[in-house]
Amino acid sequence: MPKRVLPLTDVQVRNAKPQTKEYKLADGGGLYLLVTPTGGKLWRFDYRHNDKRKTLAFKTYPEISLADARQRRDDARKLVANGVDPGEVKRAQKAIEQAQAETFKTVTLEWYGQKKADWSDNHAERILRRLELDIFPAIGDKPIADIRTPELVNLLERVAVRTLETAHRLKIACDMVFRYAVIKGKSEQNPAASLRGVLPTVKPKHMAAPTEPKAVAELIRAIDAFSGSFVTKCALQLAPMLFVRPGELRAAEWPEFDLDAAVWNIPGHKMKMKQPHLVPLPRQAVDILKELFNLTGGGKYVFPCHRSPLRCMSENTVNASLRRLGFDKEEITGHGFRAMARTMLHEILQFTPDGIEAQLAHAVPDRLGRAYNRTQHLAERKKMMQSWADYLDGLKSGARVIPFKRVSSAT
């Protein structure tokens, strides 16, 4: 006759000590406590299914008490008696729980964490903010495997009523998230794959910007008379003068500047094309930055947020200040200063497109097929930046500025 196993007591379980090798304390009916050399106490249940010996884990003590472990053993024995493998049941339940835990938001944040290193800080921030505002409140807590195409269509159509361009950007982001989910085994389908043609086409538009000298003179004089924050005023003055992207300007950090050498070295991770960029500084910009350094030079950012110096200026600050000056979004935007400079530098000051494109940090190869690098056309760009600042000063003072003769291309 098999040896009778006496049931365990709570005291035995609680006082079980680790030994040099793992050992078992049997409770009966296939249930036992496995004590490991490191002091772990693991509940296990041995059973047979289809003539095979199997073991089922019931987690650990004291997370699972002796009474709870016995209840789980009894439930498992009932399944075995009915020809059901309790191990398969447990795996199926775990898969359901895992699918429910893989919500659209959790998968999106996992995808975002891997992708943001490939983007500029400004681009990454915009993508996450769009998702937080328009997508997460509606489907963020829903299991990603349960989301269907009609649900996405309704969601994007509601966003499109407010702004069609944002709806298109969200459609692209959702498609990337679902493709990631399929690759990682978190969803069996990509409901965003069928959204082509769902939204109306966005009509291309140019960034609002004046290009007539008279209008530009009015804008520069208005900026010079700005009566708000001194930090904001400096940003407004430098925006048309340096014509970098708004995100690059507001996130500028003092260690990037060498005011003695009159250069601003923007690191690659801040640039749209992920390439470091050099901005020659005209003397007017150096004067503004030296004065600003007395106020914000003790911190990280050249243009810190007024609420916290640990963050840079809000992306809305420059545009909001232009509206405060009386210029609406159809007249000028922060990004529009780039279009303004590009047009006037070529058509009025007659600098070469190669030098202008290089200073704009556009990924356009030169005539010899060489890709952009930070020192390309540097001699011409230094001359161009100073001429441009002088030209803006002349407009501001009301002087009649005569266009320069066309300059030769510099390499």
Distance CA 220, CA 392 (A): 7
pLDDT for position 197: 84
pLDDT for position 306: 85
Q: Is the whole model's pTM more than 0.75, yes or no?
A: no
Query: Known catalytic residues?
Result: 245, 272, 335, 338, 362, 372
Contact 45, 15 (CB under 8 A): no
Contact 338, 240 (CB under 8 A): no
Residue in the structure block whose two tokens are 């200026």: 313
Distance CA 379, CA 369 (A): 19
SS (HEC) of 95-134: HHHHHHHCEHHHHHHHHHHHHHHHCCHHHHHHHHHHHHHH
Q: Which two tokens stand for residue 197?
A: 């043609």
Distance CA 381, CA 393 (A): 18
pLDDT for position 410: 41
pLDDT for position 404: 47
At 28, is the secondary structure helix, strand, or coil? Answer: strand
pLDDT values of the chain reduced to their tens digit, one per residue, 411 residues: 455 668 899 999 999 999 999 999 999 999 999 999 999 999 999 999 988 999 999 989 999 999 999 999 999 999 999 999 988 888 877 766 665 668 999 999 999 999 887 776 777 888 899 999 999 999 998 989 889 999 999 999 999 888 888 899 899 999 999 999 999 888 889 999 988 888 888 665 556 788 899 999 999 999 999 999 999 999 999 999 999 999 999 999 999 999 999 999 999 889 888 889 999 999 999 999 999 999 999 999 999 998 888 899 998 899 999 988 888 888 888 899 999 999 999 999 999 888 999 999 886 555 544 455 667 889 999 999 999 999 999 999 886 555 544 444 443
Which residues of the chain form CATH 1.10.443.10? 213-397
Which residues of the chain form CATH 3.30.160.390? 10-84
Distance CA 89, CA 84 (A): 8
Distance CA 278, CA 400 (A): 31
Nearest to 278 by CA among 195, 160, 206, 380: 380
pLDDT for position 409: 42
pLDDT for position 388: 97
Which residues of the chain form CATH 1.10.150.130? 104-194
Burial class (CB in 10 A: 0-12, 13-18, 19+), 167: buried
Q: Strands 263-266 and 277-280: what pairing?
A: antiparallel
Q: Is omega for the bond preceding 62 within 30 degrees of 0, making it cis?
A: yes
pLDDT for position 120: 67
pLDDT for position 274: 83
Angle, helices 336-347/230-242, rounded to nearest 10 degrees? 40
Q: In what order do the strands lie in the sheet with 31-35?
A: 23-28, 31-35, 41-49, 52-60
10-84 adopts what CATH topology?
Answer: Double Stranded RNA Binding Domain (3.30.160)
CATH 1.10.443.10 for domain 213-397:
yes
Q: Which two tokens stand for residue 25?
A: 């304390």
Q: Which two tokens stand for residue 23?
A: 């050992």
Helices then strands, counting H and E runs in the chain, come out as 16, 7
Domain 104-194: give its CATH superfamily: Tyrosine recombinase, N-terminal domain (1.10.150.130)
Long-range contacts of 378-382, Cβ-Cβ distance < 8 Å, separation of 24 or more: 378/278, 378/280, 378/410, 379/410, 380/351, 380/352, 380/354, 380/355, 380/407, 380/409, 380/410, 381/280, 381/355, 382/280
Neighbours of 47 (CB within 10 A): 20
pLDDT for position 408: 43
pLDDT for position 405: 46
Please give the DSSP secondary-structure letter assigned to residue 198. S
Distance CA 383, CA 214 (A): 24
